[in-house]
Chain A
Amino acid sequence: GAGVSQSPSNKVTEKGKDVELRCDPISGHTALYWYRQSLGQGLEFLIYFQGNSAPDKSGLPSDRFSAERTGGSVSTLTIQRTQQEDSAVYLCASSPTGASSYEQYFGPGTRLTVT
């Protein structure tokens, strides 16, 4: 079946502009994660959605970052007033429920470049 998809694959924006990144998780997966991957760095946790529970926003680096998940499926990560340090690859992952809920399936990422 289809995996996790993300759009756009690449985004170039000017400093100060707002951007929206989209994630379509695997159908039926209740958990959804957003990560940021900077060059030469590991994956930095941003936010986690699980079913209808309140999201875990503890990883969001500033109030310029926000995310929502509509209908328990598609998620949008919004970065307002982008800064050059926001340039990175933004990865989305989803997980199923039950005993396999540890397994994360990643999308290909959105490469964001802020000029």
Chain B
Amino acid sequence: QQQVKQSPQSLIVQKGGISIINCAYENTAFDYFPWYQQFPGKGPALLIAIRPDVSEKKEGRFTISFNKSAKQFSLHIMDSQPGDSATYFCAASPGVNTGNQFYFGTGTSLTVIP
């Protein structure tokens, strides 16, 4: 059973546009929601993360929007650049006191066209 559902599977955006990737979860015990960026041949790298006590977190061109009641969170990439072309994974964790296990989405392949 997929604990975290991610969409779309792939996304093509023009340079300068906004990329939006969505994730949904069921387990209300999750309390940490990171996004990872992965380039070909590399391991995933933490991009930005949010806790459920805030509805939005922004770091540079990257923003997480979090809707606790809907159990959804999304990544917005503003002014998308060709260098942002990568695979993005959302994840969720119930926290260190419950084993700190992470559940990952299936990934979104983003292509930013120059």
Contact = CB atoms under 8 A, between A and B. Distances in A.
A4 B44 CA distance: 12
Interface residues of A, number: 27
Contact of B96 (A93, A101, A109): A101
Contact of A50 (B6, B100, B105): B100
A103 B96 CA distance: 11
Interface stretch (A37-45, A63-71, A74-82): A37-45
A45 B36 CA distance: 15
B103 to A, nearest CB: 7
B62 interface: no
Residues of B in contact with A, size category: 20 to 34
B6 A101 contact: no
Contacts of B91: 43
A103 B46 contact: yes
A26 interface: no
B104 to A, nearest CB: 4
A4 B107 CA distance: 22
20 contacts: A4-B43, A41-B106, A42-B6, A42-B106, A43-B44, A43-B91, A45-B101, A56-B101, A58-B101, A95-B100, A102-B93, A102-B95, A102-B96, A102-B100, A104-B46, A105-B46, A106-B43, A106-B45, A108-B41, A109-B42
Interface of B: 4, 6, 32, 34, 36, 41-46, 49, 89, 91, 93, 95-96, 99-107
